[in-house]
Structures are given as C-alpha cells and as structure tokens.
C-alpha cells in the first residue's frame, strides 16, 4: 500500500504547473480534460517528484468555499515536506527560480531545513541531510 496523490487547491492550473515543474523540478505526470461533479470543465493535473513517489493533484478552486482555502489548506502550518539529497544545490536552484523562502536554512537534529511557500501560499519544509552527513545517496 502507498499513498498515490495529495490534493493542493490552486487558483489556476498553468501557474501551478509552472511552479511545481519549473521551480521545484517535479514532472508533469498528467494533464487531462475532465468535468466537475456538476458538469463544469476542469483538468486532472498531476505532478510528481522525479522518479515517482506520491504525486500532487493540482485542483483549481471551484466556488467560494474552495477559493477560501487556497494557500491555507493546513491552517498556516507546514503541511508538505520535500526531502532532497543535496540541500544546498536544491535551495540555490529553487531560490534562483523565484521560490519564496520564509526562513533561512538552519540545522536541526533531523537535518537541514528551510521553509518555503508554494504557488498558492502553502508552507513547505525543504529538508536535507545534516551537513556533517553529506548528501544522501540511498534514495
């Protein structure tokens, strides 16, 4: 058993795709026309980290209730965790691509960390190994 998808509610599909693919380096796994339960047009958009793993379903907000949660799906907490093998290279690449970091990188007992915002405003942890351990090669 594994978790296949997690939904992130976004304002628009294309800026969200650009953020996750261009800025974070995810792969566009699927972008298919679809319909809401009420018959309105939508797209089924899935992005995944390189090599697979749990994907993100980028769901365009449909109505006031869904629009209200864009960027606040986890009530302002960090709700998503992106683990990388080479923290410094990933941090530098993401910052150069315009990713907004809201904390400076710091070292914790569980590794190197910096908090960033996604295209919708949700908080993510960028996580890497402790600097004393060097880049992880087991993933």
Q: pLDDT tens digits for 43-58? A: 999 999 998 789 999 9
Q: What's the total number of domains in the chain?
A: 1
34 three-state secondary structure: strand
Handedness of CA 26, 29, 33, 39 (dihedral sign): negative
Query: Residue 19's domain is classified under what CATH number?
Result: 3.10.180.10
pTM above 0.75, yes or no: yes
Domain hosting residue 11, numbered range: 5-128
Give the span between the Cα atoms of 50 and 26, in whole angstroms: 6
Is position 139 within any domain?
no
Is position 133 within any domain?
no
Query: What phi-psi label fits residue 97: left (phi over 0), alpha (psi between -120 and 50 degrees) or beta?
Result: alpha
Q: pLDDT tens digits for 98-130? A: 999 999 999 999 999 999 999 999 999 999 998
């Amino acid at each position: 058993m594994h978790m296949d998808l997690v939904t992130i509610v976004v304002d628009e599909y294309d800026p969200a795709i650009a953020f996750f693919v261009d800025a974070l380096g995810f792969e566009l796994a699927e972008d298919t026309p679809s319909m809401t339960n009420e018959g309105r047009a939508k797209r089924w958009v899935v992005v995944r980290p390189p090599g697979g793993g749990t994907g993100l379903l980028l769901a365009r907000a449909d109505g006031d209730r869904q629009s209200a949660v864009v960027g606040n799906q986890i009530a302002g907490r960090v709700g998503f965790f992106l683990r990388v093998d080479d923290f410094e290279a990933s941090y530098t690449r993401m910052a150069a691509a315009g990713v907004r970091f809201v904390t400076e990188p710091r070292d914790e007992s569980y590794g190197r960390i910096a908090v960033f915002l996604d295209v919708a405003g949700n908080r993510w942890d960028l996580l890497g190994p402790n600097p004393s351990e060097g880049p992880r090669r087991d993933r």
